[in-house]
Structure 1
Amino acid sequence: MNKLGKKCIGTIREPSLGPVFGVKGGAAGGGYSQLNPMVDMNLHFTGDLHAVTTANNLVSAVIDNHIFQGNELGINPTKVVWKRCLDLNDRALRKVTVALESKKETPREDGFNITVASEIMASLCLSDSYHALRERLDRMIVAYDFSDKPITIKDLQITGSLLVLLKNALKPNLIQTLENNLFICHGGPFANIAHGCNSILATKLALKLADYVVTEAGFGVDLGTEKFLDIKCQEAKLNPSLVIIVATIRALKFHGGLDAADLKTPNVSALQRGICNLERHLETIRKFNLPAVVALNRFESDSNEEIEFIMNWGKEHQVDVALSEVFAKGSAGGLDLAEKVLKNIQPRRKYRPLYDIHESLFTKIEKICVEVYHATNIEYAPEVFEQIKKYNQGNYQEYYVCMAKCQTSVTDNPKIAGVPKNHTIHIKEVRLAAGSKFLVCLTGSIMTMPGLNKEPQAIKIDMDDDGNVTGLM
């Protein structure tokens, strides 16, 4: 965009150390399409995620200390809902027992979320001032007393300490590309287990400084995009002008039924079977009354025949598809995409959220599951249905819904590819995030503390005697 003479800024989330040392690796781009300094950004950066971790765990420490010191608030140890957090993938910490050495406390079950799935991270990204962050922290529910009354951070009287810890973390971070273009990197909620968008502050700051802002939301339209449009844009009163769907030939072949080991082998028939997944994402975007452009992210393994198939498909379906070669060529490899974006932008067009914030929680859940996931049934665990019913009758009806779902399928089963019909969404647990003002619905086998894979990136990262880091890409 800048190469075409347009004043443009990008906004992006901060990397989490979980994926950096897990399956995915770094999150600063790659090749000639990369943010710099890449190593610093992927690791500790400006310390924002560490600040969130510390603030979150201070809450846990104060809860247990309050119980130890006499429990004036009457916190029911069996109904502490606040979890500790850590910015790493560690499945052994999903369930832990605390207070084992205290004679004044009853040992209780606790657990860890990954930092980027914490409520403090989400609330930080949805706050546009210290005052707004204070209000969100105040109303976060940490436990319930013996009468089932919610206990909040305000009740613990530690909001001030949390604000001090988060003082600098609320400030957006400036970073640049290899070609010296400006990016704002701030916040890091995952899109599969949180709302998956960089901060409202980052986006609003970019809008003040540039004529065009390119932002991102994690994973597919069914996750990050839906949450960006239904949660972030409604909360911040933003009106996007266009959606860019980033697609790869390898991903479409996966949705066409190929095994991961065969994705680098040319296979046009698999593409023909898998293109329905891209069509589904485009169909969902239209429900939000937004135009879309497809960026086909080119890999070395992509054959000319496969690329030609996608381009012809775009022409047949009147969808602008741009071959993106920014990894290999930098901005020169993205000029076609930029031109097609400028051609399709409709700034005066009013986007349409999937649901109205005043609708019931059940209606919001149903609209996401039916309109986006195309589920034919929603199955609630018995206790979950009663919980939502209780929230709906209380002060929480006008909350957003944040679905926690696997990222490799439009269903809640990561093994189901393509666009399956007649599937059921299974809601096994709900968590009330009063600070973020949304209800988190956990589906399928999703976890808020990921685990490492058999051969994580952690075994591939190294540093030489001169301090040069390898393996972070």
Structure 2
Amino acid sequence: MLSDIQISRQTQITPIADIAAQMGLHPNEFRCYGTTRAKVDLTALARVAKQPRGKMVLVTAITPTPFGEGKTVTSIGLTQALHQLGKRVCACLRQPSMGPVFGIKGGAAGGGNAQIVPMEELNLHLTGDIHAVSAAHNLAAAAIDARVHHEQRLGAEEFTRQSGLAALHIDPQHIVWNRVMDHNDRALRSIRIGLGNNGPERQSSFDITAASELMAVLALSQDLADMRRRLGQLLLAFDVNGVPITAEQLGVAGAMAAILREAIEPTLMQTINGAPCLIHTGPFANIAHGNSSVIADEIALGLNDIVVTEGGFGSDMGFEKFCNIKARASGIHPDCVVLVATLKALKSHAGVAASEIHYPNIDALAQGMSNLNWHIANVKKYGLPVVVAINRFPDDTESELQWLTEQALAAGADAVELSLAFAHGADGATDLAAAVVACLQQPANFTHLYSTELGLLNSLQQLATRGYGASAIELSAQAEQQLAQIVALGADHLPICMAKTQMSVSHDPRLKGAPTDFVLPIVGLKLNAGAGFVTAFAGNIMTMPGLGVKPGYLKLDIDENGDIQGF
């Protein structure tokens, strides 16, 4: 079989203006970036809002393992199959961060014969949205430090005389807005800034851009005006009396909005067989809310019968955050859920060694099945039908696949189908597509997992016990102080964005399968007033990844023609 990039390069790509017209966009509602990409203008929102809304299919997965579950491949393959069956369909996916691209993943455009093309454009820069988020975020960081510097250098009275601005009296030790960059760089997790009389000196850090609150703001905004309002509410620091300082008070929110003016527009691309795909925003699901944008969803749902989107990592992460954060912000909820699983992944959950993972082992499958059962039950908590997609690998045995199908149906799945999208593209996902179409005929009785009206502490307890299977939560002294501060600021009603490991339903990556009776530690709480949620940290969660011992960038280069090799 050809490599992913070879398959991408031999694809006959339809001019993106034709894809836009096929999707139902008017000529004045998009701008082409060459022949392969286009920005969709937000003027389309008002028109599509008047049209009947299509159905939303959310693709999620069991708890991730080192063997890969193929969630993005399944999302794209399903979109291709629905398109081939004559359905008006569009995928809504996140933009890959260059951190994982150069780190461990090596790309996030799908794979094999289920891809977004051209893959190198998707994986590198695209239309610059992530860089715009970095620039706007770091402008706010620079503005804070500059304001502190000048107020301290001149004194409050002289600062006001020279600038015409009221002194903010920012406490340098209570600045909560760090800097960001779109790379994995562990050396920046803890830094000292203001050295060399450029101070005041203080401890700070970098996060990866995907973890920026601006990424969430971009993803959850309804339109340009809503984005501008959210930017003004960003909590940047506290003054010497403990009063919060917002981006609006600092006067930087307008400039940030100007930087993000085009980044709020989704980018239109296509699958290998010419199905439209909207690429927009890139929040991770372990440290952020893990879903593409509300705006992309609204445009796609207004122009298509079916929209396929993907929640990051397992159903305890991106899917949960779609239902409890994004659905609250947008009013959009899934109508059907596709849950991806593999034989290898279930054996991994049973503790089978990598060297033995390819061999038939029904006993290990039976043990690892607890994880799939958990995720099926998790989807059902939200009142949604679920189709289990078994992503088939070449060495999977018929007997094990049949066993897994029967077990998944017995566990409550509404349908179970094999997916061979990687090898066969649309043809390999037609049975899955038919099952999804049938599932969409069922009523979805969607419900949130918890009520935010009962307060943040209750929401944390409900998410931990009902959402993860914990017996209780345990707040650190710091988290208790932060909770009291959030309540005092009137933000007790916001939903939770749990930052935890993706490698377990619990907070502990060593706990596989379906752990129970564990205490979920909450070591910190962070108010994201612009995004409209509170991040809860379940353990020592890194918001700046590091590069591994053999990172993905080692494979990347350009050839004599300037073409990128190694994705």
TM class by shorter chain equals: over 0.9
8 Å CA contact retained: 2:336, 2:444: no
Moved more, 120-129 or 460-469: 460-469
* Shift, 1:347, TM fit: 6.3
Q: Which residue matches 2:463? A: 368
Aligned equivalents of 1:126, 1:85: Cα separation in 2:
19
Which amino acid is the alignment partner of residue 237 of structure 1?
G
Q: Which residue does 1:2 correspond to in 2?
A: 83
Letter in 2 for 1:372: G
Root-mean-square deviation (Å): 1.4
Bigger shift: residues 296-305 or 244-253? 296-305
Question: 1:342 and 2:423 equivalent?
Answer: no
Aligned to 2:67: none
CA shift, 1:348, in A, is 4.4
Specify every segment of 5 or more residues in structure 2 that has no aligned partner in the other structure, as ranges: 1-81, 153-166
1:302 maps to a residue whose letter is D
CA offsets per residue over residues 426-451 of structure 1, 9 Å max, x none? Answer: 11111110100111011123111111
8 Å CA contact 2:350–2:367 kept in 1: the answer is yes
Matched, 1:26 2:117: no
One-letter code aligned to 2:278: I
What pairs up with 1:91-240 in 2 under 5 angstroms?
91-102=186-197, 105-240=199-334
- CA 264–462 in structure 1, closer or farther in 2 if over 3 Å, else same: farther
Aligned counterparts of 2:445 and 2:517: Cα–Cα separation in 1: 32
Alpha-carbon displacement from aligned partner over 1:96-119 (angstroms, at most 9, x marks no partner): 01001226x321001011000100
Bigger radius of gyration, 1 or 2?
2
Q: 1:265: Cα distance to partner?
A: 3.5
SS in 2 for 1:441: strand
- TM-score normalized by the length of structure 2: 0.81
Q: Does 1:400 align with 2:481?
A: no
Partner of 1:11: 92
Query: What amino acid is aligned across from residue 133 of structure 2 in structure 1?
Result: V
The change in CA–CA distance for 1:371 and 1:107 in structure 2 (over 3 A counts) is same
Does the CA contact (< 8 Å) of 2:385 and 2:442 recur in 1?
no
1:266–1:301 CA contact under 8 A, matched in 2: no
Give per-residue Cα distances to partners, 1:223-269, cap 9 Å, x unaligned. Answer: 00000011101110113211111112221111111234443333322
Query: For residues 137 and 326 of structure 1, what CA distance do their matches in structure 2 show?
Result: 40
Deviations 1:161-208 (A, max 9, x none): 111110110001100001011000100000010000000000000001
Alpha-carbon distance change, 450 to 284 in structure 1, aligned in 2, over 3 angstroms? same
Q: Distance in 1 between matches of 2:105 and 2:135?
A: 25
How many Å separate the matches in 1 of 2:494 and 2:274?
A: 40
Q: Which residues of structure 1 form unaligned runs of 5+?
A: none
Give CA deviations for 1:377-434 in whole Å, capped at 9, x if unaligned.
Answer: 2121112112113312431011110000111100111122111222121111111101
Whether the aligned pair in 2 keeps the contact of 1:13 and 1:197 (CA below 8 Å) is: yes
Task: For 1:347 and 1:15, locate their aligned partners in 2 and report how far apart those are by CA, in whole Å.
Answer: 33
TM-score with structure 1 length normalisation?
0.97
Letter matched to residue 228 of structure 1: F
| C-alpha distance in 1 between matches for 2:508 and 2:297 | 33
AA in 1 matched with 2:566: G
Matches of 1:224 and 1:215, distance apart in 2: 11
Cα separation, 2, equivalents of 1:54 and 1:4: 42
- Name the residue aligned to 1:280: 374
| CA–CA separation in structure 1 for the residues paired with 2:178 and 2:397 | 48
Partners of 2:98 and 2:555 in 1: how far apart? 14
- In structure 2, C-alpha distance between the alignment counterparts of 1:208 and 1:456, rounded to whole Å: 41
Structure 2 partner of 1:51: 132
Aligned partners of 2:237, 2:411: CA distance in 1, in Å? 52
One-letter code of the match for 1:56?
A: H
Of 508, 513, 528 in structure 2, the residue corresponding to residue 433 of structure 1 is 528
Which one of the candidate residues 501, 514, 518 is aligned to 1:423?
Answer: 518
Indicate the SS of the match to 1:67.
helix
- Cα distance change on mapping 1:318 and 1:97 into 2, 3 Å: closer
Q: Between Structure 1 and Structure 2, how many residues are aligned?
A: 471
User: For residue 388 of structure 2, what is the aligned residue in structure 1?
Assistant: 294
Contact 1:268–1:305 (Cα < 8 Å) also in 2: no
Q: Choose the corresponding residue for 2:407, options 313, 317, 338.
A: 313
Partner amino acid, structure 2, of 1:38: M
Q: Relative to structure 2, which stretch is displaced further, 299-308 or 190-199?
A: 299-308
